Amino acid sequence: MITVVEVGPRDGLQNESAMVSTADKIAFVDKLSAANLPVIEVSAFVSPKWVPQMADAEQVFAGITRRPGTRYMALVPNVAGLERAQNAFVADVAIFAAASETFSRKNINQSVSDSFITYKQVCDRALAAGLRVRGYLSTAFGCPYEGAVAAETVATLTARLIDLGVFEVAVSDTIGIAQPDDVPRVLDAVLARVPAERVALHFHDTRGQALANVRAALPFGIRTFDASAGGLGGCPYAPGAPGNLATGDLIQMLNGLGIETGVSIEALDAAASFIRSRLRPSTPSSGP
């Protein structure tokens, strides 16, 4: 069984220059819920100054219909974001660190070390309140500013996130630079420090390699993958990065391999068509 983490409503929409209405965001999440997705990243409790598209996070969470069996997650950058998430009755939150210093400073205006101080505060409070915390590790396969990132650095930071109390780390190919040969290089280092069941992968399709990268990861026991309906996504700190791995493409490939996901491809396609109809014809793309 593969767990698909749907990141379209947050990662897919966060960099859209045209504002998507709150009602359309709610409808999008509800349509994704109807596809039986087990995890949906709904929004982010970040400063509207930096990410205007996520300014209505509270309203979106208040408006969605929460389906039993689906977990609804939100990104939080700090304790203030966590408090907003708690007030919106969010049970799963996510933090986002980076594997390269330059990306970390450009993304959250903190060094990697400082970000871990912030995230320890978030994790301590979240776990004490009974919330689950997921971790993202950006630029794990390469940085748009620094180039190659050492696999051992990725492994060390993944283990540090686990030590903070996160239940899993989404090792992320933020700019879609990974090739199938890179996946074993990174996973060999990471899995020497962290069990496979605590590791997810988040691929972008910049070079058309996302599905091949998923296939390269399956023999390592990775069973959780992030994807975005319609391949939506955009990261202002990863110049030139196009779409996330499209959820429909991932489900179709896994179905073809005889691997169960429990996701309805028909309902998923309807959700992707809906949100595409609410966006301009060409959208950028991205992720943690």
Q: Which residues are catalytic?
A: 235
| Number of Cβ atoms within 10 Å of the Cβ of 37 | 29
Nearest to 115 by CA among 177, 225, 106: 106
First-to-last CA distance in the chain? 24
Identity of residue 166: V
CA pair distance 252, 247, nearest whole angstrom: 9
Largest separation between any pair of C-alpha atoms in the chain:
45
What contacts 282, CB < 8 A, 6 or more positions away? Answer: none
| Residue 98 · residue 104 · CB < 8 Å | yes
Identity of residue 156: T
Identity of residue 155: A
